[in-house]
A and B are shown apart, each in its own frame.
Chain A
Amino acid sequence: MRGFTYTRASDADTAIRAVVHNAEAKFIGGGTNLVDLMRENVERPSEVVDVNGLPFAQIEELPNGSLRLGAMARNSHTANHPLVRVRYPVLAQALLSAASPQLRNMATNAGNLLQRTRCYYFYDTTAPCNKRQPGTGCSALAGYNRLHAILGTSPQCIATHPSDMTVALAALDAIVQVQGPNGQRSLPIADFHRLPGDTPERDTNLGHDELITAIDLPALPFARHSLYLKVRDRPSFAFALVSVAGVLKLSDNRIQEVRLALGGVAHKPWRAHKAEEILTGAPATPELFRRAAEAELQTAVGFEHNAFKIELAKRIMVRALTTLTERRLA
């Protein structure tokens, strides 16, 4: 690991000032991903700014009914907050499906959004990787690509975003609150992460000198009827092959509103707008669910080892919709 200077920030302005003039500076929260990447020499900051002392660990209800998740609140605390468990079960489940209890106690909400792909070639500093070293090529395209993306890929990169939390946030239309040297701004979760395109080295639209302060969950009463399904190689402590966050509002077996987002399939959490369009207003039937899933995956492209994800994604969408419908009718 490269040596670095370490400072602690006690407020956001100090933290931002510390990184603004140093392109090699990094914030550290839980460290679960950054320390690992530093040890592998994938990340080589010259300066690490500890933001654990910042006053953003609260989870609180806002006057407009939103729930504000502090950037520094731990994933375990967020998942177990009573309002998250009751109002947004899809988020509680997504958080609890991720990593292990020890890692969830360390990982912060902001850090979860900023974690990097687990593509093996991104971690392997001897392999070409456009995300780690732009212009060197993508080793996964012709390599072992079982975990890789099937939607929104580019010839430059087929990595997936590994987070479960962000898949639930995508379904809930969360808002990411950000502070930078010039003030604050709000980024809808849909605009937070990027597709790889020609700049796979950029995971997000967050500036180097910007700091996440909170993630807001808009009031969404029907999110009480939501779930997170995750298919993986072992039943615990594994990244998703494919996952789905689903939120459903039914009235007399007719779909009034629906939110679906897929994980493990793209460079960002994949909101299933095409499927939602087909589902909204229609009677909830297995045939409709399948048709919506087919439409969403129409543009999917599989690679040598991950083509199974296309059918898997369809089936898990159908399973989520079926389960949510059955629960409502029970």
Chain B
Amino acid sequence: MGRKLRIPLFIYYKNKLIKMSLSEAPVEVRLTIKEINSGQEAKRKLSSLGIHKDDVVIKHNDSKWGPVILENLTVQSNKLAIGRELAKKIVVENER
């Protein structure tokens, strides 16, 4: 139901725990990774680059296409660029 609300979405996200894909998640908010629904290989790649389930991350860019820039707060890391298609398969939840 969250998807139908357009403008108050951001406020809504900020106050409710809600699951969404990383590609549509709000920026500069602490997000917890809940599921990674990608193929085996991508999972391995993500895990070796330090992205795991339950990590707290921040998304840094808000473009509608192109990769997502991610910073991992749980594991100190450099920024990561994650392709849009893959970002759609990562489910996150905002942290209050």
Partners in one complex: no
Residues of B within 8 A of A (CB): none
